[in-house]
Structure 1
Amino acid sequence: MTISPPNPSPLYRTVHAGPTDVWNDSCSPRELEYAIGNGAVGATTNPSIVLAVLKKEFAAWKDRLLQLIHDNPAASEDEIAWKLIELMGLRGAEMLLPVFERERRRKGRLSMQTNPVNYRNVPALVEQAVHFAGLAPNIQVKIPATAAGIAAIEEATRLGVDINATVSFTLPQAIAVAEAVERGLDRRAAEGHDVSGMTPVCTLMIGRLDDWLKVVATREGVVTTPGHLDWAGVATFKKAYGLFKARGYRTRLLAAAYRHHLHWSQLIGGDVVLTIPYEWQVQFNKSDVEVKKRIDDPVDPAIVADLYRKFPDFRRAYDEGGLSIEEFDRYGATARTLRSFIEAYRELTALVRDSMLPAP
Structure 2
Amino acid sequence: MDGYFIRVQKHTRSRFWINNVTVREANLAIEAGAVGCTQNPSYAWKMLTAEDGKAHAEQLLRRILTETPDASEAIVRLQKELVSEIAAIFHPLYEQSSGTRGYVSIQGDPFREDYESFMRFARYNKQAGANIMIKIPVTQEGLKAVGQCIREGFPVNATEVMSVQQAMDLCDVYDEAVKGMANPPKVYLSHIAGIFDEYLAGYAAKHEVDIPSDYLYQAGKIVAKKIRSLMDARATAVGFINGGARGLHHFTEWVGADISTTINWKGTAEDLVLQNPPVVNRFDNPIDEAVLDTLIAKLPDFASAYFLGGLHPEHYAEFGPVELFCSSFQKAWRNAIAFVPGTKATGA
So what's the TM-score if we normalise by structure 1? 0.90
Pick closer, same or farther for the CA change 1:109–1:288 going to 2, 3 Å: closer
Q: What is aligned with 2:59?
A: 63
> Is the CA contact (8 Å cut-off) linking 1:47 and 1:345 kept in structure 2?
yes
Please state if 1:355 is matched with 2:337: no
SS in 1 for 2:43: helix
Please state if 1:44 is matched with 2:44: no
Letter in 2 for 1:282: E
Q: What is aligned with 2:247?
A: 260
Please state if 1:338 is matched with 2:334: no
Kindly report the root-mean-square deviation, in angstroms, between the aligned alpha carbons of the 2 structures.
1.8
> Is the CA contact (8 Å cut-off) linking 1:265 and 1:289 kept in structure 2?
no
Counterparts of 1:184 and 1:90 in 2: how far apart (Å)? 27
Which of 76, 82, 86 is 2:76 aligned to?
Answer: 82
Alignment of 1:1-360 (within 5 A): 7-56=1-50, 57-70=53-66, 72=67, 74-119=68-113, 121-186=114-179, 189=180, 193-196=181-184, 198-279=185-266, 280-287=268-275, 289-356=277-344
Length, aligned pairs only: 343
Letter in 1 for 2:221: V
Give the deviation of 1:288 after TM superposition: 5.3
SS in 2 for 1:329: coil
Pick closer, same or farther for the CA change 1:96–1:244 going to 2, 3 Å: same
Q: Which structure would you say has the larger RCO, counting Cα contacts within 8 Å and 6 or more residues apart?
A: 2
> Is the CA contact (8 Å cut-off) linking 1:171 and 1:320 kept in structure 2?
yes
Q: Which runs of 5+ in 1 are unaligned?
A: 1-6
Counterparts of 2:299 and 2:116 in 1: how far apart (Å)? 36
Counterparts of 2:4 and 2:289 in 1: how far apart (Å)? 28
Pick closer, same or farther for the CA change 1:226–1:336 going to 2, 3 Å: closer
Counterparts of 2:56 and 2:9 in 1: how far apart (Å)? 31
Give the deviation of 1:260 after TM superposition: 1.9
Letter in 1 for 2:263: I
Give the deviation of 1:91 after TM superposition: 0.4
So what's the TM-score if we normalise by structure 2? 0.93
Note the alpha carbon deviations across 1:306-329, whole angstroms, 9 max, x for none. 211110100011112211112212
Pick closer, same or farther for the CA change 1:36–1:288 going to 2, 3 Å: closer
Counterparts of 1:63 and 1:118 in 2: how far apart (Å)? 26
- Name whichever of 123-132 and 236-245 sits farther off: 123-132
> Is the CA contact (8 Å cut-off) linking 1:27 and 1:89 kept in structure 2?
no
Note the alpha carbon deviations across 1:107-138, whole angstroms, 9 max, x for none. 1011001221122x112212221222233110
- Name whichever of 309-318 and 264-273 sits farther off: 264-273
> Is the CA contact (8 Å cut-off) linking 2:44 and 2:75 kept in structure 1?
no
Letter in 2 for 1:21: R
> Is the CA contact (8 Å cut-off) linking 2:21 and 2:265 kept in structure 1?
no
> Is the CA contact (8 Å cut-off) linking 2:83 and 2:128 kept in structure 1?
no
SS in 2 for 1:106: coil
Counterparts of 1:227 and 1:285 in 2: how far apart (Å)? 26
- Name whichever of 14-23 and 255-264 sits farther off: 14-23
> Is the CA contact (8 Å cut-off) linking 1:47 and 1:348 kept in structure 2?
no
> Is the CA contact (8 Å cut-off) linking 1:90 and 1:136 kept in structure 2?
yes
Counterparts of 1:94 and 1:314 in 2: how far apart (Å)? 39
SS in 2 for 1:63: helix
Note the alpha carbon deviations across 1:27-75, whole angstroms, 9 max, x for none. 31111111100110111111213312321131242222223224x1x43
Pick closer, same or farther for the CA change 1:259–1:339 going to 2, 3 Å: closer
Q: What is aligned with 1:4?
A: none
Q: Which runs of 5+ in 2 are unaligned?
A: none
- Name whichever of 211-220 and 34-43 sits farther off: 211-220
Counterparts of 1:96 and 1:210 in 2: how far apart (Å)? 30
Give the deviation of 1:205 after TM superposition: 0.7
> Is the CA contact (8 Å cut-off) linking 1:111 and 1:142 kept in structure 2?
yes
Counterparts of 2:321 and 2:294 in 1: how far apart (Å)? 20
Give the deviation of 1:173 after TM superposition: 1.1
Counterparts of 2:6 and 2:226 in 1: how far apart (Å)? 26
Counterparts of 2:155 and 2:103 in 1: how far apart (Å)? 10
SS in 1 for 2:34: coil
Counterparts of 1:114 and 1:83 in 2: how far apart (Å)? 10
Counterparts of 1:257 and 1:201 in 2: how far apart (Å)? 15
Identity across matched positions, percent: 25
